[in-house]
Structure 1
Amino acid sequence: MSVAVCLLRAASRSCISGGIPLGGVRAFRPSGGRRALPGPLLWLVLKPAQKLLAILVGRGVRKWWRALPAARQRLAKERLRRWRRRGLLGAAVLGGLLAAVYTAHLRHNPLTGRRQLFLFSKDRFKALSQMEYQMWKEEFGAQMLPEQDPRHVMVQKVVSRLARANGDVPGLSDFNWVVHVVEEPSVNAFVLPNGQVFVFTGLLDAVANVHQLGFLLGHELAHAVLGHAEEKASLVRTVDFLALVLLTAIWALCPQDSLAFLGQWLQSKLQEYMFERPYSRTLEAEADRVGLQLAAKACVDVRASSVFWQQMELATVLQGDARLPQWLSTHPSHANRAQQLDGLIPEAIHLRESCACPPLSGPDPRLVFRQSVKQLLDAPQGAGAREPGRRGKELPPAHKPGRPETPAWLPGNSPAE
């Protein structure tokens, strides 16, 4: 699979678990015709060549400077000092032009009140999304469940419920949501920018009820409605452009190639951990907030959203899996997501009530979960032990991820519909 395809997938998908194991290497085959490549794809294809060009230019400048006699170097430094004001003025003008271009491509999002950067036209990005869809379809075609499968029917009902209940949300009715359920153990789901919904059966096994599934699908639909894939691709393109300038300077100023390689590595890591990953976590938190609102209007028990991430955190602890610090991840930690959702749930419940949804029934699932966890942790050591050779405690049946035998269908959306 080409580098461009991998980068495209990274920019346009959102993963519940933070990643999908990709299949084997395959050649990228365009769909024929002589049309020009879409702008985003062309940028991704040219990106490695641009990086190499920046390195060669920077290294060439360094060699040229070293080859100059000492007298010529002193003369060049004097000229630079004399032209310093002109250089600063030129840099200011260039910066102003770039700022004007940046501002001209900002759009106000009515759902969040935030201004987002969109460099690509919707038509070009839709064409790119369709190409990505064909790649996913080719990769998972043999694993897709038929539409008659009960799991596909369940996901289709939830997505339809979310779409109908949120028809007044700006931009949501522009999508034709198409559901694909993939037989794959990964706890994952994502929605492409063209409305293609992919849900892995591992996620269906991980949710405790249909309300958790409703929130998670609302989260994924929110990514598409908010244009997160297009925004991320636009910002990555802008940052990559600035990084090329910095990369050229690194190779021009570092006295040795080894130091330049080190500087290049540090620059890439700083870009990743100080911008790309924090920015990705911000988008995930925003999709959680908007997705919770979409779920509330669909009469989902929004309290289940927090419980899902608490279940994921508990499973990680009991199974003894390594947990990376949040700053190393592209997604917020399970515990932080649960805490942030807890703060948003009262507002979501008020929104749910304003949509004439049936009253929430039964005890608060968050309280039930906390009591169950306390009982689990207070149980004797041997009561929940795993078989020899396996790590951590075994989750008791009440806490094991899995779909209920009789799913709690969303109100007004029974299987008979």
Structure 2
Amino acid sequence: MRGIRKWWQALPPNKKELFKESLRKNKWKLFLCFSSFGLLFVVFYFTHLEVSPITGRNKLLLLGKEHFKLLSELEYEAWMEEFKNDMLTEKDARYLMVKKVVYHLIECNKDIPGISEINWTIHVVDSPDINAFVLPNGQVFIFTGLLNSVTDIHQLSFLLGHEIAHAVLGHAAEKASLVHLLDFLGMIFLTMIWAVCPRDSFALLGQWIQSKLQEYMFDRPYSRTLEAEADKIGLQLAAKACVDVRASSVFWQQMEFADSLQGHPKLPEWLSTHPSHGNRAEHLDRLIPQALKIRERCNCPPLSGPDPRLLFKLSMKHFLEESEKEDLNITAKKQKMDTPTIQNQKQIPLTYIVEKRTGS
């Protein structure tokens, strides 16, 4: 495009006028050409929409299944190479616990389209990172940092249900398709910028503005939308597995409280690819009544004991009161906490307490 601009600048004034006159005479042909291109783009877009069998939502898919499967395998090999020295053995108690939870979720949700067709494989990475993800080909990666951050098996079941939902809903392929589409449109925009801007510095500035607008107006908001959808479907998966779904929002309240204790800055949500901890907790609280009805329809045992959300609020109230009495500042308290959880992990062993459903 820089070459086109230089060519135009090198033309003598009379030839520039002739070129402009030619464009004016053929303006309807140009209009027809651009209109045809726009129509083809619209047809291309709508012919690549698919309906999700789970949510009923239309989604754009530009990559073929075989092509994306190959990309998933390459990504899996890259992760395995990175974590090859940090994998827990299949005899490790933490690995067995995660495997039991994942297979329980899969067994209780095998009626969902696509979930039984995926070959699910567990990988537990010995790392302090609070993270987990599932590749589109069913490779489940969970970090011990996350295992140390949950207070019970119900929270763990929901988090794994969330990651499984990403894979079943095909979010990775959907996100990649959006990126491809935006890159194509961005390329057209950049072509126009480099063709008309009189100086390279202006063109570079326009390119930077375009990339930031794409990131903060499309990429990140869309990513947050997919995260919210995975929370919703993951909660449903957990409900069908007879998990105490009320614990789901407590985890994000714990994370929000831990961040405040550790002095982490609270960034605006629009800067992140994920919803804020507080907003995720509120979103889940709105979905919990529906999830409880799903538990009932699946003939799950009634929930016993107090609501974990109430217990969390009471524990936080007690924590703050004790901190005030002892005149401890947040920094001193943070140093005593070896994990982001509110309670001592040694006092809350992760045991499989999700009861088996009594009926289908």
Confirm or deny a common fold (TM above 0.5). yes
Q: 1:256 aligns with which of 195, 199, 205?
A: 199
8 Å Cα contact 1:192-1:224 kept in structure 2: yes
Residue 248 (structure 2) aligns with: 305
Residue 354 (structure 2) aligns with: 410
8 Å Cα contact 2:152-2:350 kept in structure 1: no
Query: Displacement, 1:379?
Result: 2.9
**What is the alpha-carbon distance in structure 1 between the residues aligned to residue 137 and residue 349 of structure 2?**
33
8 Å Cα contact 2:123-2:140 kept in structure 1: yes
Residue 197 (structure 1) aligns with: 140
Structure 2, unpaired ranges of 5+: none
Residue 164 (structure 2) aligns with: 221
Q: 1:211 aligns with which of 151, 154, 160?
A: 154
Structure 1 residues 406 and 125, CA gap change in structure 2 (3 angstroms)? closer
Query: Displacement, 1:213?
Result: 0.4
**What is the alpha-carbon distance in structure 2 between the residues aligned to residue 257 and residue 345 of structure 1?**
54
Residue 317 (structure 2) aligns with: 374
Query: Displacement, 1:412?
Result: 2.6
Residue 296 (structure 1) aligns with: 239
SS at match of 1:358: coil
Residue 98 (structure 1) aligns with: 41
- Cα offsets for 1:170-203 (capped at 9, x unmatched): 1111111100000000000000000000000000
> Aligned AA for 1:81?
R
- Cα offsets for 1:216-236 (capped at 9, x unmatched): 000000000000001111111
Structure 1 residues 140 and 384, CA gap change in structure 2 (3 angstroms)? farther
**What is the alpha-carbon distance in structure 1 between the residues aligned to residue 326 and residue 191 of structure 2?**
61
> Aligned AA for 2:353?
W
Query: Displacement, 1:94?
Result: 1.0
Residue 146 (structure 1) aligns with: 89
TM-score for both structures, normalised by structure 2: 0.94
**What is the alpha-carbon distance in structure 2 between the residues aligned to residue 61 and residue 300 of structure 1?**
63
Query: Displacement, 1:371?
Result: 1.5
Is residue 69 from structure 1 mapped to residue 7 from structure 2 by the alignment? no
Residue 116 (structure 1) aligns with: 59
Residue 323 (structure 1) aligns with: 266
**What is the alpha-carbon distance in structure 1 between the residues aligned to residue 332 and residue 317 of structure 2?**
23
> Aligned AA for 2:179?
V
> Where has structure 1 moved over 4 Å in runs of 4 or more?
389-398
Structure 1 residues 390 and 376, CA gap change in structure 2 (3 angstroms)? closer
Superposed CA RMSD in Å reads 2.0
Structure 1, unpaired ranges of 5+: 1-57
8 Å Cα contact 1:280-1:330 kept in structure 2: yes
8 Å Cα contact 1:384-1:396 kept in structure 2: no
Bigger Cα displacement from structure 2, 337-346 vs 60-69: 60-69
Query: Displacement, 1:290?
Result: 0.5
Number of aligned pairs?
Answer: 355
Instruction: Within 5 Å, give how 1:4-403 maps onto structure 2.
Output: 58-381=1-324, 383=326, 385=328, 399-400=342-343, 402=345
Structure 1 residues 85 and 208, CA gap change in structure 2 (3 angstroms)? same
Structure 1 residues 65 and 110, CA gap change in structure 2 (3 angstroms)? same
Identity within the alignment, %: 57
Query: Displacement, 1:392?
Result: 5.5
Structure 1 residues 245 and 135, CA gap change in structure 2 (3 angstroms)? same
**What is the alpha-carbon distance in structure 2 between the residues aligned to residue 400 and residue 68 of structure 1?**
75
